[in-house]
Structure 1
């Protein structure tokens, strides 16, 4: 009886530890105020400053969907800080295709224009909303989501949005690129999507990098 009680207790402990690990999954805690790259000799205020978003005000408007990131890759001071940004520019009629962020939720703020957004939960239920300047929308961590600028009437109908992430490197997995531009066999894709190889090859050609 005592053996059974001990085994049951250990099982409950393992389950509790697993749940706690899942609940706290994300960037690892650091044991210092910040992380300095090993090749950096002098640390001052410049290390904690990024000017990459200045280009949003000074550059010409893009003709295709454009993302300007401020993650630990572009802004090393974010390493260990569990936060990052992205600026997203949507010309009329363009989309940020269905994708996921495996390491963070995304909080999107529309700065100008409008967006149609949506995400799909693990029961395959779709949640959608039309957003306008000043609106925010949260995409839960790891779920497939998208954004689309429905305004296709004029060049001035550009949309600008800022996304915040609870990770210094949230990661982006683009579904079209991951499925059709990574070398998965044509027959496997045709079987999976219940279509033919010719259709798969057309999709792959459309996603191939432009020369």
Structure 2
């Protein structure tokens, strides 16, 4: 009987922990309709309106990959709403380098052009797809992924939505090679030599 009770108790603890982890997986729930920043004294319709994407209308496309965000930083009304948005512009032959979003999955909709997308799961399996206008692709939360406009002539345009007001972006090249990690660690980690590490760092610096 004691063993049976212990097993039941252990199961309940595991179940409670699992539920707690699930509940804490996204942005925290709020107990009001919306959150008002401390520096805002009057809340009207303008507070819930974001006009930052107007700069994308009737302008020439960029010459390098560009992302324009509407996250909590740019649009404070999103705080507590567990949603954010981005417009991604890919000139011919450009790439959105390997990166992750630690706090949200990403749902991408291709509007124009073609786009090769892919992510790697925790078993190191690569999933890739070539999207056409109207196609959607989901990048699971926290997994390394990329988008590549392989077309050498035409640009591509996509929009992405996130299940967090602040999904976060961790650039793999930048995080690994541009944050002060000791060169000896990089050499040993990538099984290469110091000259190669310095060449990569120089290449990233020239594109900053």
* TM-score of the alignment, normalized to the shorter chain, above 0.5: yes
Is residue 186 of structure 1 aligned with residue 183 of structure 2? Answer: yes
- 1:150 maps to 150
How far, CA to CA, are the matches of 2:33 and 2:155 in structure 1? Answer: 39
For 2:98 and 2:190, the matched residues in 1 are separated by: 16
Task: Give the SS at the match of 2:46.
Answer: helix
Question: 1:25-47 CA distances to partner (integer Å, 9 max, x unpaired)?
Answer: 11000000000001101100000
Indicate the SS of the match to 2:28: coil
Q: Which runs of 4+ in 1 moved over 4 A?
A: none
Alignment of 1:120-135 (within 5 A): 120-135=120-135
The offset of 1:137, in angstroms, is 0.5
Where do 5+ consecutive residues of structure 2 fail to align?
none
The secondary structure found in structure 2 opposite 1:69 is strand
TM-score by length of 1: 0.94
Matched, 1:177 2:174: yes
2:11 corresponds in structure 1 to: 12
Unpaired runs of 5+ in structure 1? Answer: none
Equivalent position SS for 1:163: strand
* RMSD across aligned positions (CA): 1.4
Secondary structure, aligned partner of 1:208? helix
User: CA offsets, 1:136-159, max 9 Å, x none?
Assistant: 101111111100001113xxx111
Rounded to whole Å, the distance in 2 between the matches of 1:43 and 1:203 is 48
SS at match of 1:58: coil
Q: In structure 2, what is the equivalent of residue 23 of structure 1?
A: 22
Deviation at 1:210, TM superposition (A): 5.5
Greater Cα offset, 110-119 or 12-21: 12-21
What per-residue deviation string (whole Å, max 9, x for no partner) do you get for residues 77-105 of structure 1? 00000000010000011100111111111
**SS of equivalent residue, structure 1 residue 204:** helix
The Cα of 1:18 is off from its aligned counterpart by: 2.1
Alignment of 1:91-170 (within 5 A): 91-153=91-153, 157-170=154-167
